[in-house]
Amino acid sequence: MSRPKIRKVNKTKRKRERKNALERLEAKTSLMRNHPTECCVCKKLFKRDHQTIKTWMVTIIEDKKAVRLTCPECWSAVNEVIQCQE
7: pLDDT strictly greater than 80:
no
The CA distances from residue 14 to 3, 4, 24, 53, 65, in Å, are 20, 17, 15, 34, 27
Of 1-10, 14-23, 77-86, minimum mean pLDDT range: 1-10
**Residue 1: inside a domain, yes or no?**
no
DSSP per residue, 18-58: HHHHHHHHHHHHHHHHT--SB-TTT--B---SHHHHHHSEE
pLDDT at position 3 = 66
**Residue 24: inside a domain, yes or no?**
yes
pLDDT at position 23 = 92
Q: What is the tens place of the pLDDT at every residue in 18-48?
A: 999 999 888 888 877 777 888 888 988 888 8
**Residue 39: inside a domain, yes or no?**
yes
Q: Which domain, by its residues, includes 64? A: 6-85
Query: How many structural domains does the chain have?
Result: 1
**Residue 81: inside a domain, yes or no?**
yes
Count of Cβ atoms closer than 10 Å to residue 83 Cβ: 8
**Residue 77: inside a domain, yes or no?**
yes
Q: What is the tens place of the pLDDT at every residue in 52-79?
A: 889 998 888 878 888 888 999 998 888 8
